[in-house]
Amino acid sequence: MFFEAVPVTPETLLGEVRRLAEAKYRFVTMSQTVLDEHTLCLYYHFDENLTLTDLRRACDLFPQAGMTHLRMEVDKDRPIPSISSIYFCALLIENETQDQFGVRFEGLPLDYQGAMYLEGEVARGPYFTMTTVRRASGEALPKGPGGEQQ
Amino acid sequence: MSRTTVIPFGPQHPVLPEPLHIRLVVEDENVVQAVPQLGFVHRGLESLVRTKDFNQMVFVVERICGICSCIHANCYCNAIEDMLGVTAPPRAQFLRVIWSELHRIHSHLLWLGLFADAFGFESVFHQFWRVREHVMDICEATAGNRVILSINVVGGVRRDLVPDQIRWMLVQLDETEKGIRELTKTMLNDYTVQERTRGIGVLTRDEARLLGAVGPTLRGSGWECDERMHGYAAYKDLNFVPVVEQDGDCYARSRVRFYEALHSVALVREALNRLPESELTVKLPGNPDGESVFRVEQPRGELFYYVRGNGGKMLERMRVRTPTFANIPPLLHMLPGCKLPDVPVIVLSIDPCVSCTER
């Protein structure tokens, strides 16, 4: 189902997340999508209630209902405020985002410095820079200097 | 005077079927800190959305995790169907529930066996896996495979059940239920089991919510929270009630899984008896465009999919949040303060699936 997200900025993010935490929302996860070569879009997904009665009343049998989404566009070179001080459980997904997209979160209680999944020497976020090269069927791969396929 | 030592738990460890490393800082026998290290089997499956079309991706998401492959595909297909504005036909919705619940039963029985093995009860491990074979036989006979079933397609399902198969399945389900009930006394009432699991790895009700626990880990701490309550697929038409325990320890989590296995048998039986007549698939109106999220309940907890399409055959982005990924922060909270011999029991109590977590 299409969903609507509340737009936030790096300056307003923590205040909005704190408000949701005080209203006893559960942090579900974060999603990330690349908008252009400099901009990453982050979605923060929260669940409103945790009880059977409330879920059935609020959701009207749709799994997306009862959720709140925050949407934030960030420059990949600017540090992003971490919400782990409010929701400790966000630290893994924030570290994963660092690994995969090459961005940096400020204030992480446990910071793998972009090496949670990746080896330390990997310099680029693989999901930010990944491109797909399409070749016509049967076209040979270019040969390297030693004759090996690249 | 206590002595501080660092002990590596995993990535190769007898209780871990998959590689997960936890760096344990211990003072004598007491754990004071736990730091996880992931990435041993990361496959980058999410990035394949750019090279496989959205129909082919059903087969990819099934391979994120074998033991709940059908449920991954179910969630992915629902997310795409929402974007396309179509709904799978009623019979397909029931069939999705049947195969999903079969996965839940065999996943829980597998876990109950492994859990018993973790605290040294090898005969119970054998018994649970013997009972599990009835479910694996059903999967093989109805879908052609024991683990990766490949029954979901975007818009419905690709396989049907005929009356003879349904009658045979009902007999197998009776055998499964009988086998599980025979193990009740041993698994839930035995003195040794209770000594090794009661009061161990306690997660309070508030901690479970704040730390983002999902599935049996959350329900074992007193929360009535199960995505099936939302009524996706055919759950809205079935008598589903979440299994909840209050104590928040390893014993409570094992009770949740034990009774969920029994409840899933009842759900499959009910779905088989009420299977409606209809087509198995609907025609798709085009390619997905826009953004969509969908959540379903895996054996280990809430599974979350975010997908983004641009009107082409390939999706722009797919993001999967698996339940084990959500249950690692609660695990890191449970470990400090426990004794070193309890670490394997606590780690297994969240039913870790590293294959899911690393995708």
Q: Where are the domains of chain B?
A: 43-323
A24 contact residues in B (CB cutoff 8 A)? 209
**What's the rounded mean pLDDT across residues B94-123?**
89
- Tens-place pLDDT, residues B23-55: 888 888 888 888 888 878 788 888 888 888 889
Q: Which residue has the higher pLDDT, B278 or A141?
A: B278
Kindly indicate the confidence band of residue A143, based on its pLDDT and cuts at 50, 70 and 90. low
Kindly indicate the confidence band of residue A137, based on its pLDDT and cuts at 50, 70 and 90. low
Domains of chain A, first to last: 6-106 (3.30.460.80)
Residue of B nearest to A32 (CA): B319
Q: What is the pLDDT of residue B10?
A: 76
Residue of B nearest to A127 (CA): B47
Residue B232 and residue B162 in contact, taking contact as beta carbons nearer than 8 Å: no
Kindly indicate the confidence band of residue B185, based on its pLDDT and cuts at 50, 70 and 90. confident
Q: Per-residue pLDDT for A56 more than 70?
A: no
Q: What is the pLDDT of residue B257?
A: 92
Q: What is the pLDDT of residue A146?
A: 45
> Of all residues in chain B, what percent carry a pLDDT higher than 90?
33
Kindly indicate the confidence band of residue A148, based on its pLDDT and cuts at 50, 70 and 90. very low
Q: What is the pLDDT of residue B210?
A: 85
**What's the rounded mean pLDDT across residues B187-197?**
84
B156 sits in which H/E element: strand B156-157
Residue of A nearest to B242 (CA): A52
Structure tokens at B102: 């079969």
Q: Which residue has the higher pLDDT, A58 or B67?
A: B67
Q: B296: distance to nearest CA of chain A, Å?
A: 8
Q: What is the pLDDT of residue B39?
A: 79
Q: Per-residue pLDDT for B280 more than 50?
A: yes
* CB burial of residue A60 (10 Å; 0-12, 13-18, 19+): exposed
Q: Which amino acid is at B266?
A: A
Among partner residues B37, B218, B316, which is closest to A33 by beta-carbon distance? B316
- Tens-place pLDDT, residues B197-252: 888 889 998 888 888 899 999 999 988 888 888 888 888 888 888 889 888 899 99
Quote the CA–CA distance of A80 and A108 in Å, as a whole number. 10
Query: Which of B38, B239, B319 to mutate to test binding with chain A, by most A CBs within 10 Å of its CB?
Result: B319
**What's the ipTM?**
0.84
Residue of A nearest to B218 (CA): A50
> Of all residues in chain B, what percent carry a pLDDT higher than 70?
100
Q: Per-residue pLDDT for B296 more than 70?
A: yes
CA distances for B138 relative to A46, B70, B170, B341, angstroms: 38, 14, 10, 38
Q: Per-residue pLDDT for B95 more than 80?
A: yes
Q: Per-residue pLDDT for A25 more than 70?
A: yes
Q: What is the pLDDT of residue B276?
A: 92
Phi, psi (5° rounding) for residue A17? -65, -40
Q: What is the pLDDT of residue B267?
A: 92
Among partner residues A1, A50, A65, which is closest to B223 by beta-carbon distance? A50
**What's the rounded mean pLDDT across residues B81-102?**
92
A92 contact residues in B (CB cutoff 8 A)? 325, 328-329
**What's the rounded mean pLDDT across residues B1-14?**
81
> Of all residues in chain A, what percent carry a pLDDT higher than 90?
12
Q: What is the pLDDT of residue B253?
A: 92
- Tens-place pLDDT, residues B300-323: 998 999 999 888 888 988 999 999
Please answer yes or no on whether A2 and B51 come within 8 Å at the CB atom.
Answer: no
Among partner residues A24, A27, A56, which is closest to B229 by beta-carbon distance? A56
Of A117-131, B50-64, B270-284, B334-348, least confident by mean pLDDT is A117-131
Mean pLDDT of chain A: 75
Query: Which of B291, B292, B316, B317 to mutate to test binding with chain A, by most A CBs within 10 Å of its CB?
Result: B291
Name the one residue in this structure whose structure tokens are 């940096």: A104
Query: Which distant-in-sequence residues (6+ apart) come within 8 Å of A35 by Cβ?
Result: A41, A73
Q: What is the pLDDT of residue B174?
A: 92
Quote the CA–CA distance of B46 and B61 in Å, as a whole number. 8
Quote the CA–CA distance of B19 and B34 in Å, as a whole number. 16
Q: Per-residue pLDDT for A118 more than 60?
A: yes
Q: Per-residue pLDDT for B266 more than 50?
A: yes
CATH, range B43-323:
1.10.645.10
**What's the rounded mean pLDDT across residues B52-76?**
89
Q: Per-residue pLDDT for B138 more than 90?
A: yes
Query: Which distant-in-sequence residues (6+ apart) come within 8 Å of B59 by Cβ?
Result: B150
A27 lies within 8 A of chain B by CB: yes
Mean pLDDT of chain B: 88
Residue B219 and residue B245 in contact, taking contact as beta carbons nearer than 8 Å: yes
Q: B120: distance to nearest CA of chain A, Å?
A: 32
Q: Per-residue pLDDT for A141 more than 70?
A: no
Please answer yes or no on whether A87 and B229 come within 8 Å at the CB atom.
Answer: no
Residue A128 and residue A40 in contact, taking contact as beta carbons nearer than 8 Å: yes
